[in-house]
Structure 1
Amino acid sequence: MSGKIPKYFINDLLFRTNIVDLINTRIKLKKNGKNYQTNCPFHNDKTPSFTVSYEKQFYYCFGCNKHGNAIDFLINYENLNFVESIEELSLIHGLSIPFEKNIISEKNNYFKKQKLYLLTKKMSELYQKNIMFTSSAYDYLTHRGISRNMMQFFCIGFASFTWDLFYQKLNIKKEFETELLNYQLISINQSNKIYDPFQGRIIFPIHDKYGRTIGFGGRTIQNIFPKYINSTETNIFYKGKQIYGLYQVKKKNSKPKYLLVVEGYIDVIMLTQNKINYVVSSLGTSITKEHVKILFRNTDTVIYCYDGDDAGRNAAWRALKITLPYISDKKTIKFIILPENEDPDSIIKKEGAKNFQLRIQNALTMSKFFFKNILKGINLSSNDDKFYLSVRALPLINCISSDTIRIYLRQILARIIGILDDYQFEKFLYQQKQKNKILQYKIKQTPMRTLIGLLVQNPNLAYLVTSTKQLKNSKIKGIPIFLEILKTCSENISFNTGQLLEFYRNSKIINILKTLSIFDHMIVEDKIQNVFLDLLKSIYKKDLEQRQEHLIAKERTNGLTIHEKKEIWSINKKLKNS
């Protein structure tokens, strides 16, 4: 790889780079004699074993043995490849990479990226200019309470309702239009007309850590679905790796004490306008592992604040599960629970910045939020429920790398269950596991039980079922329970297993559902959908066969009506084709 970039240039980059400064901007180093030390960022390090030498321009971890120069550090810490790490250092020092002439692919890729940066920057400027010409867009933002200063600070713009209007109003040159088409920032539709994917939308430019525009988010000001869209992914824009507003946060404070994660662009802007200067968003998408890594590179405390509806609460729980492997004795998360049907934008307008700051100060700790959610639907007077709680909680607790936090959460779990002694806690878990194995052995694993169990454990499977009309009058045992659960899951598309069990807490079928919710079907995750559909198909077939047998028996004794004869003909045809 290094042969693609002249060695003299790489050596010059390393000569210009002070590895201590490079690493210190990402993780805090402390002077220790001639060298600098900190806890290793590459493994769960209890005592500082990561050493950086100014003299050698080299780092080394005595714990996990990771080592290297400035380029290696960027590759390992920022998850970059070799060429991307050279680009990063080149950008820091304001240099262009002199690719060797006989190398085509990497050189072309590099220059394509540079061209994209220029095009997105120019488009961002045009969008910003355009909003001042468009009263409907400007009025929309002012109606939402966004000040002119915030529009400028976040570079907010507007894409006209047609490309022709945008093109003419801003005197865009034909050459620039051609470049935008070549790089697919604009397109040609079936009517052979040029269109901007963001047309008719407020534009929120997305910046990287250097302030370069890498993509856009767009919000419609009319009743157009979807309400929000983002740029398609390019060589410079990867949605799962970008944090909206982080550049603006770092402009105000290079090392923020907190990062407050919200759902939307306007949430970020309105909270920032109210002097809460550490607000970011994951572009309206679910938090990813990459997002978590970026957040923790920039702060030690991440506070999740999602909308006060079912979708927001589910997003918070997903964020917790994704973040758990990355928390440590130094890195932690908190949660703000907003009132029903409120979001950060609406609540700060109602309560004001001072009261919202109180919400931040009183944010739930990770452990409180964890147990608040995992205890939903649990009856602590029932040993079966206690075991179900441990089955749900322990895998999540065990994925935490910090021994201290893991032990602390296990102790809380044991106290909740009512066991104070570690040995007794392990004994309880063992006994319940054995009891559960015996129960599973006793319960015959029929296709219907498996079908219901899969649905209880994966409520989102409901969307795969297009019609249940045929099963309405079915005599197959378990069909009424299946149809009842299916109806509930279809009407509550965001339900998880815990919410489903809570829904049926006081019903006659709750014990059946709890048993099936922890039943081990031994089906690998990527096969669950196929198995579910195959089981449903076999039950449809079984129902047809039962009806066929009934009609045949009736024909022998009493004969069939014309309607019944048509029905048995139809059943025979379906079974033949199944």
Structure 2
Amino acid sequence: TGKRYDRFRDRVMFPIRDSRGRVIAFGGRVLGDDKPKYLNSPETPVFHKGQELYGLFEARKFHRNLDEIIVVEGYMDVIALAQQGLRNAVATLGTATSEEHLKRLFRVVPNVLFCFDGDQAGRNAAWRALEATIPGLQDGRRARFLFLPEGEDPDTLVRAEGTDAFKARINQHAQPLADYFFEQLTKEADPRSLEGKAHMVTLAAPLIEKVPGANLRELMRRRLKEITGLDTAAVNQLMQSAPAEAQPSYDPGFDYDAVPDYGDYQQHDYQAQQEWTPNAPGGQQKKWDKKPWDKGKKWDKNGKRPDFEPRGPRTPATVEPPALTALRTLLHHPELSAQVANASTFADEENVYSQLLVALIDATQKNPKLRTMQLIARWHGTDQGRLLRQLAEKEWLISADNLEQQFFDTITSLSARQRERHLEQLIRKERQSGLSAEEKVQLLNLLNRKVPAQTPTSTGV
């Protein structure tokens, strides 16, 4: 429309600096209840939010000889810790911790401490941080993980208990990466059974082999042998047979790892045309000589150039399919599956996302204690597993209050679509070859149904 608006209206502003202290972007935290809670500047040639860390410049400026950096989840956590004298904290800019983040940190310090909330979301973020850390874990580098009491974050906790108590908590409860690694895998794969031992090696092997530090890698291999009770030959054989990472076959045109940002949708791949200024008076050239369109080629009588090629249709922006949104919600909130009465009502045999959603609901209904990482592990080494992991990492721009309602709205919509497909199939078959008695009853029931779709939830949500 050509109108301007204040991108960061009603937000507290946080300047984001590069390694030299230059302001390259801003982050804004909402003052009220608007969404998203945090909003960053759009991506630019000098600002890539998946690589920058809030507070890193300030931490290096305050400490000339930093030994360890604390990674927290938000701007306010960095500020709260700094106010209490802990000036070595940084935060990602609303994205999951990446390998690029760790490369930057390990160039500055040999030790990194991840400080996360104790809830399920915090533990999911910690595991993603572990996966990002492992490729950079050379001998002499160390990573630890600290989980805070559920419902607490660094901001509230350090204000409540003070700096000394918070430092004591770090010293007493922070887990080395290898300890946290094997603790989590033991929860997912029971090493007391043969199947559990094999599953643990399958999960652990690809990650252990990525450790660049020869000493740490060998020690983790030995630890894996001790836990599983398998000898060296057996472990090596299982490691070699572990499924290798492969390119996923699902919707390659969709960027599941992208972190959406409202300003990003205003960017286009074209360049603004440079303003043309005519030669000064007295010049001998015509004002249109040697311009980009003047290549010595004539225009035809219809006003077209011989070398003219029409522009192809504009590719529309990709929108996440509803089934993927439901999958992502269920990954973070597996307890919602208990309210789905009949998942078969939307089990579209031609839609891989719907099939995976039904399988996920079935798994969580049979075992309500399954958490996000355990669900992903069930499909480890498959396209489905890689899809689930990428969905779990994608940033939410939906209010937590609306997630549950959106999930069941999506379930209802999928059920309605499946009903319509079933109805069309029966009508087509009736016209072509006729229906059996059972199929006639199904068709009659579908035609007589007054509501658009049966809500497949047991609670009437």
TM interval, shorter chain, is 0.5 to 0.7
Q: CA deviation at 1:302?
A: 0.8
1:279 corresponds to: 89
2:436 corresponds to: 553
1:462 corresponds to: 327
1:472 corresponds to: 345
Of 147, 160, 179, the match for 1:337: 147
Distance 1:235 1:358, change over 3 A: same
Q: What secondary structure is seen at the aligned counterpart in 2 of 1:248?
A: helix
Kept in 1: contact 2:28–2:40 (CA 8 A): yes
Q: CA deviation at 1:196?
A: 1.8
1:496 corresponds to: 372
CA distance in 2 between partners of 1:230 and 1:195 (Å): 15
More helix by share: 1
| Matching of residues 185-264 of structure 1 within 5 Å | 190=1, 194-264=4-74
Distance 1:265 1:473, change over 3 A: closer
Distance 1:561 1:203, change over 3 A: closer
Distance 1:231 1:302, change over 3 A: same
1:180 corresponds to: none
Higher relative contact order (CA 8 A, sep 6+): 2
Of 111, 115, 133, the match for 1:301: 111
Q: What secondary structure is seen at the aligned counterpart in 2 of 1:226?
A: coil
Q: What secondary structure is seen at the aligned counterpart in 1 of 2:24?
A: strand
2:444 corresponds to: 563
Runs of 5+ consecutive residues of structure 1 not aligned to the other structure? 1-189, 437-457, 502-513, 530-535, 569-578
| Matching of residues 177-188 of structure 1 within 5 Å | none
| RMSD, aligned α-carbons | 4.5
- Say if 2:205 is the partner of 1:394: yes
Distance 1:470 1:262, change over 3 A: closer
Kept in 1: contact 2:423–2:446 (CA 8 A): no
TM-score, with length taken from structure 2? 0.60
Instruction: Report the residue type matching 1:411 in the other structure.
Output: R
1:360 corresponds to: 170
1:3 corresponds to: none
**How far does the alpha carbon of each residue in 1:203-262 deviate from its partner, in whole angstroms, 9 at most, with x for none?**
111112222211111111111111111111223322122111111111211230101010
CA distance in 2 between partners of 1:379 and 1:270 (Å): 40
Distance 1:392 1:329, change over 3 A: same
Of 218, 221, 224, the match for 1:410: 221
- Name the count of aligned residue pairs: 325
CA distance in 2 between partners of 1:560 and 1:278 (Å): 70
CA distance in 1 between partners of 2:205 and 2:364 (Å): 26
CA distance in 2 between partners of 1:323 and 1:565 (Å): 54
CA distance in 1 between partners of 2:347 and 2:48 (Å): 49
Kept in 1: contact 2:345–2:419 (CA 8 A): no
Distance 1:193 1:295, change over 3 A: same
2:307 corresponds to: none
1:486 corresponds to: 361
Runs of 5+ consecutive residues of structure 2 not aligned to the other structure? 244-322, 331-339, 391-414, 450-461
CA distance in 1 between partners of 2:329 and 2:136 (Å): 34
2:126 corresponds to: 316
Q: What secondary structure is seen at the aligned counterpart in 1 of 2:211?
A: coil
1:138 corresponds to: none
Task: Give the fraction of aligned pairs with identical amino acids, expressed as a percent.
Answer: 31
Kept in 1: contact 2:74–2:91 (CA 8 A): yes
TM-score, with length taken from structure 1? 0.48
Instruction: Report the residue type matching 1:391 in the other structure.
Output: T
Kept in 2: contact 1:470–1:540 (CA 8 A): no
Instruction: Report the residue type matching 1:315 in the other structure.
Output: A
CA distance in 2 between partners of 1:555 and 1:366 (Å): 59
Q: What secondary structure is seen at the aligned counterpart in 1 of 2:9?
A: coil
Kept in 2: contact 1:329–1:402 (CA 8 A): yes
Q: What secondary structure is seen at the aligned counterpart in 1 of 2:42?
A: coil
Q: CA deviation at 1:307?
A: 2.1
CA distance in 1 between partners of 2:72 and 2:389 (Å): 32
CA distance in 1 between partners of 2:78 and 2:212 (Å): 31
Q: What secondary structure is seen at the aligned counterpart in 1 of 2:436?
A: helix
Instruction: Report the residue type matching 1:414 in the other structure.
Output: K
CA distance in 1 between partners of 2:10 and 2:346 (Å): 50
Kept in 1: contact 2:201–2:235 (CA 8 A): no
Instruction: Report the residue type matching 2:194 in the other structure.
Output: N
Q: What secondary structure is seen at the aligned counterpart in 1 of 2:15?
A: strand
Q: Which has the larger radius of gyration?
A: 1
Q: What secondary structure is seen at the aligned counterpart in 2 of 1:241?
A: coil
Q: What secondary structure is seen at the aligned counterpart in 1 of 2:128?
A: helix
CA distance in 1 between partners of 2:138 and 2:183 (Å): 21
